[in-house]
Structure 1
């Protein structure tokens, strides 16, 4: 395993306020990370380009140590994952950024993904060279995942999961015959044999059933992922905005309401985080193109006291201490810490990543005037793991996870794992 840097050799941030770097890891020479989970003192990170996922021992956060790497199947993404107790769930999908058709990332973020991948027309499965589905691992020995189950899906695969234990998991799935990712509930009562329970999609997505899209062809009407609170799934549907789904019957999800603010705003809805004790909903629109070509993206705060009529009441401030638009790469929101059980849970502090503007912390005690109270912008990565052409060597902070003790973990497409103390 790669040796870890001493504390005095920690990367020097480009900007820091009320946050202090205490640990860093190149994740065993695979510094690219997408989704990040911390469970029982171990960080699990899915890789965007290194084709698998890694495990880092963070029991001593000042000396994180890579302990394992699990390779993905051929031509397959393992970018997103979930942990709970002794289970690890990992997505399997076509490695989109290894495909020639998506070397220009605009092609990935615009139009019907299923049509570009070929799954909307239900091509023969024999022609596919990737694995599609959900893998379940036993992590009772945290550094040594043992596969115990796999649920295949017919299509491009699964993009992201929501699982916090118990019987039900929820995913976004790119299935044969659909224009893009749809909502699926999964029965996990037997973790060795997960199985589909129910589906929901927006009318117009099911081409195989003769439906016709009603939105412009350049739009991506596809589910990024849901977060579930009680019997409601709060689903981020990219260019279609917010979709709230009643999942009281997990086998027959049904629509509560659909709200979309794009246009005039730029779309790309990525997270919908409910704060049930305050009847609030944090909704984040992802910046997906360089130099803000897709417009200013925002984090919104909705009042959801009346579930059938969510109302936007404020937006979070955009980082402005530097000219991040000109810096290069993506500038704008990407992810929020999602208040998972067992982690740091707050309805007043929101932790978010802003890609080339690093990690931000917001105070929303006054829901009508969110304010930024802390920030950490890592330096440019030492090298690019991103193999796509013409990518700038700038930080692209991707995910953020805050543990129960308040330590902040963040990763990057190229820069490794950063462990931070929030000092607010």
Structure 2
């Protein structure tokens, strides 16, 4: 590991010029309204409170252990020891990411679990990937590229990792084949990078790694997967997170704190000998705190991105990036629990939750051009599905918030929700809470309830859903931290899969 850090110090160069005309834009408006609620049909077990909430009363009574569902049901799944942070889906398989060090407590099979869901009602665990990158905690780096049928991840033990990177051929998705036994996988052959998150360029020739602090971006050339090599580093900002990349591979929509940076990465895509990565523009907003990633789509041929805020109750924003230097915000998708008027309710029921509460995380559109639906993991609010055919009229059509796994902390060792159960403070909720308090719009007592004193423990009275919910026809395949891998079926005719369905994640 020290070798990798030393190599990083030697190889690092800052090559991120900011053109004189690169704008920095601040969007101060905070969305006040939620999208319309889903109308729940037969077989639903609806939420008992406001949209997206797991009410204090349901947590205390045990009602949350039954979960909540609307126009969607669970077909099958495989819980095992929990779902880590992110899973990835390809063909009829899912790959369960690891959370360090809890994953190592699974003495029988530590590592990334490969799940064959060819029979969605009876998924089976076929093999385990246990190279150093898989054992070290894959955090938000476990991604697939469908074009080249590749799976890759980096090791991220505690928020930021380095050295280990492994890449696999998943042509036979149930039995991945390691392609780089040397660089990145052999402990004596580390790669110089820092990572928290990662993902492929659309053509699968570059794997990009980003780190939260400092905001280092690394481009890893994987044209020859047996010999991955670092070809560029850039210190982008104080912090960097997930991203999305335009279909041609030339622009990156990089998540930063309170917004995004749009970068011109065409020189990396072309493999210029001396690549330069200019910053096109920066967009900050007050409505949110940490941006998570971007999903590139088009509406009427015009490039847009869906961007989600994993903290600060910012929800999901739809941004027109036809002119990346003059982007415009088109819509904001929020649940009622995220609206400023409900921040007191948010704080009251989320107390006793480790670090995060009711925020969006990863979203997936059902196709790149004129998407008809968007599915998002929404932490304690579960999986939410929206009709996005008309950007001016986005509405919720279904949700599935899985049963709380209260009392199973020590069995679910690969769950971030379990591993963080010693701590019961949703710290990232303090940003919108403070905003409303200092603005004189919230009485302090409105945020206090029976759970407020749960500072040193969490009762796991709500699951934590972070993985991308991937469309598979009228099903959604995803993973939540406590409930593990799940196959969900959309019901009551709320969604028709388009003939050209092609799930879009972004990174």
Which range, TM-score by smaller chain?
Answer: 0.7 to 0.9
Name the residue aligned to 1:233: 251
Equivalent pair of 2:85/2:98 in contact (CA under 8 Å): yes
Name the residue aligned to 1:6: none
Can you list the C-alpha shifts for 1:265-319, whole angstroms capped at 9, x where unaligned?
33210011111334321111003xxxxxxx4232111122222111112211315
**1:387 and 2:423 matched:** no
Cα deviation for residue 41 of structure 1 reads 1.2
Equivalent pair of 1:332/1:354 in contact (CA under 8 Å): yes
**1:42 and 2:60 matched:** no
- Which blocks of at least 5 consecutive residues in structure 1 are unaligned? 1-10, 97-107, 114-129, 206-219, 288-294
Which of 272, 288, 297 is equivalent to 2:294?
272
Which of 250, 253, 260 is equivalent to 2:277?
253
Q: May I ask how many residue pairs the two structures share in their alignment?
A: 349
Name the residue aligned to 2:129: 70
**1:159 and 2:197 matched:** yes
Cα deviation for residue 180 of structure 1 reads 1.6
Q: Give TM-score, length-normalised by structure 2.
A: 0.62
Can you list the C-alpha shifts for 1:129-175, whole angstroms capped at 9, x where unaligned?
x762321123344333332214433354452223444423322147x
Name the one with the larger helix percent: 2
Q: Give TM-score, length-normalised by structure 1.
A: 0.73
Name the residue aligned to 1:243: 261
**1:192 and 2:217 matched:** no
* Larger Rg computed on CA atoms: 2
Name the one with the larger strand percent: 1
**1:400 and 2:468 matched:** yes
Cα deviation for residue 387 of structure 1 reads 2.2
Instruction: Give the Cα separation in 2 of the matches to 1:418 and 1:62.
Output: 9
Kindly tell me: are residues 240 and 180 of structure 1, through their superposed partners in 2, closer, same or farther at Cα, counting changes over 3 Å? farther
Which of 235, 240, 247 is equivalent to 1:201?
235
The structure, 1 or 2, with the larger RCO (C-alpha pairs under 8 Å, 6+ apart) is: 2
- Considering only aligned residues, what root-mean-square deviation do their CA atoms show, in Å? 2.9
Equivalent pair of 2:194/2:210 in contact (CA under 8 Å): no
Cα deviation for residue 370 of structure 1 reads 1.8
1:12-411 pair list within 5 angstroms: 14-26=67-79, 29-48=80-99, 49-51=102-104, 52-71=111-130, 73=132, 76-79=136-139, 80-84=141-145, 87-96=149-158, 132-149=163-180, 150-151=183-184, 152-154=190-192, 156-157=194-195, 159-173=197-211, 179-202=213-236, 205=237, 221-250=239-268, 251-261=275-285, 264-276=286-298, 277-287=301-311, 295-320=312-337, 325-328=347-350, 329=353, 330-337=357-364, 347-381=371-405, 383-384=408-409, 385=413, 386-388=418-420, 389=422, 390-393=457-460, 394-411=462-479
Instruction: Give the Cα separation in 1 of the matches to 2:173 and 2:388.
Output: 35
Cα deviation for residue 381 of structure 1 reads 1.9
